[in-house]
A and B are shown apart, each in its own frame.
Chain A
Amino acid sequence: MWSQKLTRSILDKTKNTVFKVPRWKPVVSSRCLQTEGRTTQSQSTVDAADVEFFSKQMNEWWDPYGKMRLLHSMNLLRVPFVRDGLVNTAQKELYPLKDKKILDVGCGGGILSEGLARLGAFVTGIDASEDLIRVADEHKNVDPKIAYNKPVYLHTTVEDHAKKVSNLYDGVVASEVIEHVQNQELFVKSCVHTLKPGGRIFFTTPNRTRMSQFAVIFLGENVLKYIPQGAHQFEKFITPTELTFLLERNNCHVELTYGVTFNPVTGKWDFSEFQQLMYAIQAVKLS
C-alpha cells in the first residue's frame, strides 16, 4: 500500500504536477487556484483548501467544549509524550522543558504550543493560516502561567521556515498536521532540516486504514461530530510505515511508534498497541 502512496509523492515531486484524487469535498475553486499557483511557484506543502477550512474554525478554537475539543483533550496525551521524548531524568521538575527550543509545525490556534510552554519550553509556532496565527497570538496573553514564556508565532510554512533556520530546534512537533499537507515528503524533509542532530521529532496523525476511514471520518466527523465535518480526506492519510520510511530517508531513526485511541465514553485519549486508527511517532535526528 505504501508503495502506491510513495509513487504518488514521488510523482508529485519529479513531475511537479498535482496527482488529483477524487475528493468528497466541493472545494474545487480554491483548489484550482492553488494548482495554478503551484505550477509557477516552487514546491509548497500548503493545501489551501485545508488551511482555509481550519481558518474558519478560528472563533471556536479555544473553546474546550467546541469543535476543537479533541485537540484540547489530546494535550493530556501528547504533552507528556513530547516531554518524555525530550527529557528523561529521574528528578522531576516543575518546568521539565526549560531551555528546550521546540518548533510546533501547524500550530493552529496554539493549543499544543501553550501546553508545551507551560512546561517551560521556548516554543516557536508556525502555521499556514494567518487567521489562526492571529488567534494564537492573542490567546498567549491569557494564561498567567506562560506570561514570561509566551510562544512566538509566525505565519509561514515549514519549507519557508527551513530556508531560514537549520539544525536549531531540540524538538519539532507536527501534531495532526501531516494529514492536511500536500507533498508530505517535502514536509518531513523541511521539518527535519530545522531540527538539531540528536533532537527529536514527533508526529501524531491518523493511519490510513479502512478502520480509520470509518472511525475518524464517518464516526468522528459525520455521526458523533467530534471533529468539524470535512476536516479530513482519507487519501491524504499516511501509514506508520510510510512515515517511518520518509523519516529514515531524512536521516532520522524512529524510536517509538504508539497506537493512539480515543474513548468516547470517558472522553480520554490513550496510547495502546492498536495502531489502526491513529498513531504517534518519535524519531531522533542522526548526526
Chain B
Amino acid sequence: MFSNNVKRLLVRHTKCSIRTTSVRCLSTAEDVTSLSKSTTNFKGDYDVIIAGGGMVGCSLACALAKDSLLSNLKVLLLEGSPNKSFQLKPEYSNRVVALNQNTKALMSSLDVWRHVEAMRLQPVRHMQVWDACSDVMIAFNSEELLDDDVAYIVENDVMLHAINKELSTAKNDNIQIVYDAKIAGYQLPKQEDLKPKSSVQMANGDTYSCKLLIGADGANSAVRKAMGVQYLSWSYEQMGVVATLNLSEECENTTAWQRWLPTGPVAILPLDSKRSSLVWSTWQDDAKELLKLPEDQFVDALNDALWKQYPRNTGIETVTSWTSSWLKRVGLPDGTARQLPPSISNVVPNSRAAFPLGFGHSTRYIGPGVALIGDAAHRVHPLAGQGVNLGFGDVKDLTHLLSEAMYSGLEITHPDWMGKYESVRQRHNVPTQLMIEMLHRIYTVDLMPVVLARSVGLQITNALQPLKKMIMSHATT
C-alpha cells in the first residue's frame, strides 16, 4: 500500500508535462486578406469570433449581446456540435455542475438565471466533507457562513439552454451562431501587428476573419495550440464516474456530501427530494469496472464507498480524539456531530458514464488579438466543483474589461485591457487550481503522517469559523 501510494504520487509527478504545442502560425494581416480574396468562400469579417459554444463560450456571446457598449460588435459563435432542440425531460441528465454565488450573480445580471429557475435547480445549503481514513469531518452551513445558499446544482444542458434562450430573446442581430462548424485551423496575427487580425478556416473551405478571436473550445483547445503557448498539464489517471441516483427515502435533500476515499473523492449532489447526482472520482481501471457492474452491484459498491469503515491507524485515532477533546475544552465545535449521508436505493438505468480528469494550466491566456476562456485556459479536478465557475468568472472579467476599453476609445484588441484580463484571471484561477491540486494530492494517499496532518488540519479548520468563511468566500468568487 505504502509503496503503491508513493509510486502513484511519483508517477503523477513525472507524467506532468509542459508542452509547447505547435509553433505559432505566422501570418500578416495581408496574408489574411489575400487568403480571403483567393478563396471564393470567404464568409465575412467579424469583430469577435468565439470558437466553441459550450457553457462558457455561449455565456460570453450572451454577455457581449447584453453590454450596452459591446452589443454593436459583430460576433460569430462557432460550435462543432449540431443545434439540438432542448426539451426538459422528467428524468435528470447525468451531467451536472455545482454553481457558486458568483455564477448566480453573473447569470442573474444577464437575465439567464430566471430561465434556470423556470426549468430546475437544487440549492445546496449544507456541505459535509469527511475522511474515510479517520473520523474527522468538516461541515459548511450556508446559514452560518453566508447569507445565501452554498451552491446550486444545475444540469449542464439546462444551463446551456438557459443561456441560449436568453441569447435568442436578446434579439441582437449582431450575434451570429454557426452550428456543426468544423474548424480546420487558425491563422493568428504576428506580435508586431498594431491591428491584429485572425482568420479561421473551416473544414468545408469557408473562412472567416476577425479582430478578436476567443478560444472557448474546451480543454483540448485548438486555439491554444495555434497560439503556441506553454501548457502545463497532467492526467490524473482518474475518471469521474457520473450517474443519477434514487434515494431510499425522500428527504429535504439540500446537502452535498463528499467522502474522501484513498482512491479519490465520491460526491453525492442533491437534485430533488428523491434524487441525487453522483460524481465518483477513481482510478481509470476502477472506473471502467464500475461502469460494467450490474446496477445492483454498482449500488452496493457505492454504498460501500459511502459507509465502509476503512482500517484505522490507532496513532491517528489517538491524536484526532485528543484534538477533538481539546477543541471541546476551549468551546469550539469538535467535528463529531456528523450527519449521515442518504442511502442509495438504485441507480437510474443508463445514467452511468465516465469522464477523464486532468489538470491543465495555460501559462498565457492571451496573444495578440486572441484570448482564452474557460477550460481552454484552465482545467481542474471536479472535487471542488469549481471548473465552469472559473470559466464564468473569465467571462465576467473579460466583458467588463473590454467594455471599459471601448469606453476609453481603445481598439478591441488593445494589449492593455487584454493584459489586465490575463493577470486578473490568473491571479484568481491559479491559486484556486493549486488549492484543488493540493487537496487532491493529500487525499489520494493514505500514508500515516499525511492522514494525520490532514485530519488534524481538517478538525481545526472545521472549528474555526473565520477560516471556513474565508474558504467559502474564495470558493464562491
Contact = CB atoms under 8 A, between A and B. Distances in A.
A76 interface: yes
A57 B301 CA distance: 78
A58 interface: no
B408 A92 contact: no
Contacts of B194: 64
A118 B409 contact: yes
Interface of B: 68-69, 72, 194, 403, 406-410, 416
A209 to B, nearest CB: 29
Given A64-B194, A76-B408, A79-B409, A94 B416 contact: no
Nearest to A64: B194
A115 B414 CA distance: 13
25 contacts: A64-B194, A76-B408, A76-B410, A76-B416, A79-B408, A80-B407, A80-B408, A83-B407, A83-B408, A92-B68, A92-B69, A92-B403, A92-B407, A93-B68, A93-B69, A94-B69, A94-B72, A94-B406, A94-B407, A96-B407, A115-B409, A116-B409, A118-B409, A119-B409, A268-B416
A91 interface: yes
B68 to A, nearest CB: 6
Given A94-B72, A118-B409, A119-B409, 7 more contacts: A76-B408, A80-B408, A92-B69, A92-B403, A93-B68, A93-B69, A96-B407
Contacts of B410: 76
Interface in A144-183: 145
A116 B410 CA distance: 11
A270 to B, nearest CB: 12
B452 to A, nearest CB: 44
Main secondary structure of the interface of B (DSSP, over half): loop
A76 B409 CA distance: 9
B165 to A, nearest CB: 26
A12 to B, nearest CB: 38
Contacts of A79: 408-409
A64 B195 CA distance: 13
A193 to B, nearest CB: 28
A119 B69 CA distance: 12
9 closest A-B pairs by CB:
A118-B409, A119-B409, A80-B408, A92-B407, A76-B416, A94-B69, A79-B408, A92-B69, A115-B409
A86 to B, nearest CB: 13
A6 to B, nearest CB: 36
B405 to A, nearest CB: 9
A100 to B, nearest CB: 13
Contacts of B407: 80, 83, 92-94, 96
Nearest to A115: B409
A233 to B, nearest CB: 31
Nearest to B70: A94
Contacts of A115: 409
B377 to A, nearest CB: 21
Contacts of A145: 409
B45 to A, nearest CB: 13
Nearest to B71: A94
Contacts of A64: 194
Interface centre among A64, A79, A92, A96 (most CB of B within 10 A): A92
Contact of A91 (B68, B408, B409, B416): B68
Interface string A109-124: 0000001101100000
Interface in A258-274: 268
Interface string A248-287: 0000000000000000000010000000000000000000
Contacts of A96: 407
Looking at A76, A80, A94, A118, the one whose CB has the most chain B CB atoms below 10 A away is A94
A91 B68 CA distance: 9
Nearest to B405: A76
Contacts of A83: 407-408
Contacts of A76: 408, 410, 416
A153 B162 CA distance: 52
Nearest to A120: B409
Residue among B194, B409, B410, B416 having the largest count of chain A Cβ atoms under 10 Å:
B409
B197 to A, nearest CB: 14
A116 B407 CA distance: 11
Nearest to A94: B69
B33 to A, nearest CB: 15
Interface string A77-90: 00110010000000
